[in-house]
Structure 1
Amino acid sequence: MLYNLSLHLNAFYVPAAMTLAGAFVFISLIKEKKDERKRA
């Protein structure tokens, strides 16, 4: 049972972590572009 639970958590946690990481990179890229526009 515990093994099944950990598999289930992994199936949810891994995509969630990847989505969070992708969103974080995306937001930081947008912030950098906005800063460049301000400087220019």
Structure 2
Amino acid sequence: MLYITTLHISEFPLALALATAVAFVVFSIVKEKCDERKRA
């Protein structure tokens, strides 16, 4: 219920936060792969 209400009130900031979270996760995975490559 709260999620739906928040989506109606502020759709853009929520999308921006989600995009930031996804970008951070992707960055972490890429960084981890690079670190593994350096170690090998």
What TM-score do the two structures reach when normalised by structure 1?
0.74
Deviating beyond 2 angstroms after TM superposition, the runs of 4 or more aligned structure 1 residues are: none
Task: State the identity as a percent.
Answer: 48
What is the RMSD of the two structures over their aligned residues, measured on CA atoms?
A: 1.4
User: TM-score, normalization: structure 2?
Assistant: 0.74
Structure 1, unaligned runs of 5 or more? 1-5
Q: How many residues align?
A: 33
Shift of 1:23: 0.1
The structure whose RCO (Cα within 8 Å, separation 6+) is larger is: 2
Query: Structure 1 residue 18 and structure 2 residue 18: aligned?
Result: yes
